[in-house]
Structure 1
Amino acid sequence: MTTSETSTEKTVWRERGAPLLAPSDSGPLSGLRLAVKDVYAIAGHRVGAGNPDWLAEAELESTHAWAVGALLDAGAEITGIAQTDELTYSLDGVNAHYGTPPNPQAPGHIPGGSSSGPASAVALHETDAGLGTDTAGSIRVPASYCGLYGMRPTHGAVPVTGMLPLAPDFDTVAWLARDAATLARVGDVLLPPADRTREDHGPFRTALVAPDLLAPAVPQVREAFETAAAGLASRLGLRREVRELGGDPAERAESFSVAQAAQVRECDGAWVAAHPGALGAETRRRFVWAEDVGAERVARARESVSATARALRHLLTPGTVLLLPATPGPAPSREAGAEERSAVRRAALQLTCLASGAGLPCLVLPRMTAGGLPVGLCLIAAPGSDHALLNLGVADSRR
């Protein structure tokens, strides 16, 4: 292996085997190779959370995280523990300690984070699926940037036991794959059993488009979105309906960021304070900002997030799926500076905060491009519509 290949290997994998962990039993996922984000407990291994100091202090885990155990019991094998953005507090896929994983679908561009390692491993065909997390878009953004299928389930649908928390009110187990069928197979293992009677009657009849939600998207993405949304509705026989959510997208994203920051501070603030100099500069700036968020501002932010959630759930009547771009643009260049990436991250939050704040399931389909680079089409549905979304993705991929 060349020095360059070794360097790339370390940006994707913290630890890798052939496999690292064999399946516990045979089952519906037999033969599936899995990359696990470095925030899940794996018995006999440590959780590193994308930070060398955290890893150095971590103890060997005695049991698997719930999601890890469920996938192993279903026949999946763990190829390795994949890298993550520091303490998962980012959407970029850039790690000051381990580097930036490659994005083979957009060479020279970042992969997106914080589930950057699993996304890169799947895009590189080194695994078939990636187990990640999604708090503010950490599966949806890398799925969009890397041209992958991604799933954020209904909040609380999949147990987070044994998963390192960031902001528990918004944290979810999440996963991605190169094809819709594999994504659905993983979902069948992780999600509660579906109401098959309801699904057999076809739960989705309306594809909802809200023009005001497209504000953060760049012109090329808005144009691609119109084509992709019309194509999806046509292929699946969905009626297109135009509605508006209302409100200011930037204010919604800011409120979500503040509400999230308060929980990030509760989860990791003490560790960060006890380890000065342990974080990369960009992650450190986000933690400094989180520490300065006052209680009154947090209370206002939480009310704003709740109001948005109520409005969004009101739009998502039974049989309705909301379509929007997964990200406002394609992946930024690896050469982009911190300020540019920060601006892109703020714009992305205007889209991702919607499902995160309302606890809604969403599916990313690799159905768009902008400037020759992948951008995902995101579908958001009512709580508990997880299997229906995954089935919709499979049906769409066959047409």
Structure 2
Amino acid sequence: MGTAPAGEPDIALWRVRGEPLVPGSGSGPLRGVRLAVKDLYAVAGHRTGAGNPARLAEAVPQTEHAWAVRALLDAGADITGIAQTDEFAYSLNGTNAHYGTPPNPAAPGRIPGGSSSGPASAVALGQADAGLGSDTAGSIRVPASYCGLHGMRPTHGAVPVTGMLPLAPDFDTVAWLARDAALLGLLGDVLLPPAPDHPPLRVARVVTDLLDLAGGAVRAAFRPAASALAGRTGLRTEESPALPGDHTEWAVAFTTVQLAQAWESDGAWVSAHPGALGPGVTTRFARAAAVTAEERAAARTVLDGAARTLRDAVPPDTVLLMPATSDPAPPAGADSEERTATRQATVRLTCLASLAGLPCVTLPLMRVGGLPVGLCAIGAPGSDRALLRLALSAA
């Protein structure tokens, strides 16, 4: 599974594939790089389906590329294909009720993580060199963690989202992944804005109560991985017991605002197409429709305070280290209750960078029971290039 030749694509992985589908400029730093593009981005001449066949059927071919797509093509990358996504990018599992579940060769028989599931699977399988995805609540970090890849979520707003379908604009970012840190950095050189030199990273901070959000086996693997990272990169490790605030309350508030914004983005379409969504996404949009203005305002107040706390915890010379996910990838056959529990535990970790708009890089530095789990390094706003250099030093 997952090795079908171009022209006979695995529909769980590729919505459409070519040799290449869209050629790049023929020159530039990404010349010859095979790129899998998540089916959230405008690709000129192709429709955008957002992981849903009813939406795809109504879509018309795009007349121009999304900003990020154009930038990567101009830098020489070839689009190998448009890769599948969880419906409307509204899941962290990597499953799709209509198209199936892309394979995870790093953890056979387990889910790849989402919602950038197709790009992650394509890169892990070697059918693409890099994947252009998105990250709202962890949609690049989770598949990078589950599939043993490098992933980058930039500072919120650093990379234009023009031509990318929104989910929750306060948290949405362009994001990307690759098998190796060098290519991850090359994509960052193309996508990120020019920036003045960032202060050197000197401190790797570990906060015990954030580490406690992960499962026991991940916690046990985390400390030696964090120590190894510090040793390779010259960072000084600093540990603190807690950050002020209720992390469960932060996650609930984040989910509330995300729900409200998802309904603003997609609620009209969902209402006009009853029965068009898979069961898990249907449940999320039903919750989204029920969020009141008062609930949203209260949640926004909580998030504003949480964001200040998190930014204070990451001064310019510091990275905050934590597991990218609470556990390794669940089995593909896990029941919905188990997947929900894993998703909720992971969101308590992934929502932190999202709610504060902070950049983070996911590094494939841990193994738990023989399965990959990513280590996430969160930096201060604007430290994106420093994080990519850190990833390269850690490789």
Q: TM-score, normalised by structure 2?
A: 0.97
How many residues are matched? 393
- 2:116 is equivalent to residue 115 of structure 1: yes
1:87 alignment partner, SS class: helix
Q: Match of 1:60? A: 61
2:378 to 377, 380, 389: 380
Deviation track 1:121-180 (CA, whole Å, cap 9, x = no partner) reads 000000000000000000000000000000000000000000000001100000000000
- 2:96 is equivalent to residue 95 of structure 1: yes
CA contact (8 A) 1:212 1:246 kept: no
The CA deviation at 1:194 is 3.0
Q: Match of 1:300? A: 298
Counterpart Cα distance in 2 of 1:121 and 1:370: 23
- 2:205 is equivalent to residue 204 of structure 1: no
Q: Match of 1:161? A: 162
CA RMSD of aligned residues (A): 1.6
Counterpart Cα distance in 2 of 1:51 and 1:28: 34
Counterpart Cα distance in 2 of 1:39 and 1:206: 36
Q: Match of 2:147? A: 146
CA contact (8 A) 1:149 1:366 kept: yes
1:245 alignment partner, SS class: coil
Which shows bigger deviation, 296-305 or 183-192?
Answer: 296-305
The CA deviation at 1:248 is 2.5
Structure 1 consecutive aligned stretches of length 4 or more whose deviation exceeds 3 Å:
1-8
CA contact (8 A) 2:9 2:16 kept: no
CA contact (8 A) 1:43 1:64 kept: yes
CA contact (8 A) 2:225 2:366 kept: yes
Counterpart Cα distance in 2 of 1:2 and 1:90: 21
Which amino acid is the alignment partner of residue 221 of structure 2? A
Deviation track 1:13-48 (CA, whole Å, cap 9, x = no partner) reads 000000000013410100100000000001100000
CA contact (8 A) 1:46 1:55 kept: yes
Which amino acid is the alignment partner of residue 12 of structure 1? L
Q: Match of 2:331? A: 333
Deviation track 1:189-212 (CA, whole Å, cap 9, x = no partner) reads 0001132xx35xx61000000001
Deviation track 1:349-395 (CA, whole Å, cap 9, x = no partner) reads 10000000000000000000111100000000000000000011001
CA contact (8 A) 1:8 1:101 kept: no
Q: Match of 1:213? A: 210
1:224 to 206, 221, 225: 221
1:101 alignment partner, SS class: coil
2:266 to 268, 273, 293: 268
CA contact (8 A) 1:215 1:249 kept: no
The CA deviation at 1:8 is 7.6
Deviation track 1:64-116 (CA, whole Å, cap 9, x = no partner) reads 00000000000000000000000110000000000000000000000000000
Counterpart Cα distance in 1 of 2:206 and 2:247: 15
Deviation track 1:259-288 (CA, whole Å, cap 9, x = no partner) reads 111100000001000000100111101100
CA contact (8 A) 2:324 2:362 kept: yes
2:308 to 306, 310, 324: 310
Alpha carbons of 1:223 and 1:3: their partners in 2 closer, same or farther (altered >3 Å)? Answer: closer
Deviation track 1:300-320 (CA, whole Å, cap 9, x = no partner) reads 111111111100001111200
Which shows bigger deviation, 26-35 or 242-251?
Answer: 242-251
Counterpart Cα distance in 2 of 1:246 and 1:214: 14
- Give the share of equivalent positions with the same residue, in percent: 65
CA contact (8 A) 1:158 1:192 kept: yes
Alpha carbons of 1:97 and 1:20: their partners in 2 closer, same or farther (altered >3 Å)? Answer: same
CA contact (8 A) 2:92 2:113 kept: yes
Q: Match of 2:21? A: 20
Q: Match of 2:251? A: 253
In the alignment, structure 2 segments of 5+ residues that lack a partner are: none
CA contact (8 A) 1:12 1:83 kept: yes
Q: Match of 2:195? A: 194
The CA deviation at 1:396 is 1.2
Counterpart Cα distance in 1 of 2:318 and 2:2: 51
Alpha carbons of 1:7 and 1:42: their partners in 2 closer, same or farther (altered >3 Å)? Answer: closer
